[in-house]
Amino acid sequence: MKPLKICMVTTFYPPYNFGGDGVFIERLVTALAKAGHEIHVIHDRDAYAFCAGDADRAAKPIEHSKPGNVTVHTLGNERHNILDLIAAHQLGKPVGKSAQLKELLSQGFDVVHFHNVSLMGGPEILKYGSGVKLCTLHDHWFVCATHVLWRFDQEACTKRTCLSCTLAAKKPPQLWRYTGAIADAARHIDAFIAPSHFAKKSHLANGFPADIKVLPHFIPDENRELSLSPTDDHQSSLDDLHPRPYFLFVGRLEKIKGVQFLIEQFRNYRHADLVIAGSGNYEHELHLMAEGLNHIRFLGRVGPDRLKNFYRNAIATVVPSLCYETFGLVPLEGFAAGTPAIVHNLGALPEVVQGGGGLTYNNAEEFIAALESLRTDPHGRAQLSRAASNNLLSNYTEQRHLSIYYDMIAELSRSSSVQEVR
């Protein structure tokens, strides 16, 4: 494919991001830039500052180097404009930054790729720009005011009680959600992309008004360590990162991520340790829950190089999310280091590991059984590790993702040309 001029539009972008969406967008940007395309990124630092909790503010952002053909346009400054963000949240369109966004998006891009733009201007922003226009559904913000289909801060949503749930989350109702704003904006997008079949189904089941293509996320080539040969003597590879065999959690420390479930299970499970990497608004409560449990270790935020070593030496990664994840980058990060995963049988998590390399559980009894099966059977773990590597190579490589991405753009470009002729 000839070099393209591509713009990524996202509320959060590293180092001003919280979770997997920003991580993936940066990886996609890097991969496209490496392939010779000119990439521009527009993100909103005001939104990050507004949403950041105490743990986020205390942690120093980890700056990443970027290729020379990547230009990052940062909206706002560290003195976030709360009124502008509130207006965008309530009206479903950009207010104070509208002119700036329109100017940035009028630079003749071949592709404009929107991501989570909820606080940049909601659905209205999808009307901006020209060229092939894509939008990736990283979470459920189009169909859920809390973005995560999490009812009353207690459980995954099985019944739509949106207004009362929004109020319970201490958020003001968004009146634009009760109009045709989303359907109107969706007509300006050539293709919506979901990272999993589950995410596609959950959006459509909750009234999303447009067709959705499925394109899973990927692990960058340079992050894969598939040259590692899993051995039956896995525990001999432990280094000074952690002295005892351990299971690893990586992610935001929020209630919906389910770390409290892990702590409760490890209260009586002492055959291996639990290592927790990440920070978030639920961190203080989790520390209190784990008080006196010396085999549970909190790392806080961990840089990517050090985190790779923790992945590599873990018996398995554990992903206990209580909400509907739209994808699962953490299992893939473990797969890249030859480490299998144990995931909650909910949302897109079982879909990510169904190609091999992971175990699923439905309850505490099945979770403990999964821990023990990997801890006590090194040969079985090694087989699962090889399956993880094969799954990654077959389904989640950078090359596979970009190939489908390019084909999608080419097809949409041809379709657009035909429509213009007509």
At residue 50, the pLDDT reads 81
pLDDT tens string 267-276: 999 999 999 9
pLDDT tens string 97-112: 899 999 999 999 999 9
For range 64-74, the mean pLDDT: 86
For range 163-170, the mean pLDDT: 86
Model confidence band, residue 120 (pLDDT cutoffs 50, 70, 90)? confident
For the chain, give the percent of residues with pLDDT over 90.
Answer: 72
Token digits of residue 336: 């890249």
More confident residue, 415 or 139: 139
3-class SS letters over the chain: CCCCEEEEECCCECCECCCHHHHHHHHHHHHHHHCCCEEEEEEEHHHHHHHCCHHHHHCCCCCCCCCCCEEEEEECCCCCCHHHHHHHHHHCCCCCCHHHHHHHCCCCCCEEEECCCCCCCHHHHHHCCCCEEEEECCCCCCCCCCCCCEECCCEECCCCCHHHHHHHCCCCCCHHHHCCHHHHHHCCCCEEEECCHHHHHHHHHCCCCCCEEECCCCECHHHCCCCCCCCCCHHHHCCCCCCCCEEEEECCCCHHHCHHHHHHHHCCCCCCEEEEECCCCCHHHHHHHCCCCCCEEEEECCCHHHHHHHHHHCCCEEECCCCCCCCCHHHHHHHHCCCCEEEECCCCHHHHHCCCCEEEECCHHHHHHHHHHHHHCHHHHHHHHHHHHHHHHHHCEHHHHHHHHHHHHHHHHHHHHHHHHC
pLDDT tens string 204-223: 999 999 999 999 999 998 87
* Domains located in the chain, CATH noted: 5-218+398-421 (3.40.50.2000), 222-395 (3.40.50.2000)
For range 353-357, the mean pLDDT: 96
pLDDT tens string 359-372: 999 999 999 999 99
At residue 167, the pLDDT reads 87
At residue 53, the pLDDT reads 67
Kindly tell me if the per-residue pLDDT of 194 is higher than 50: yes
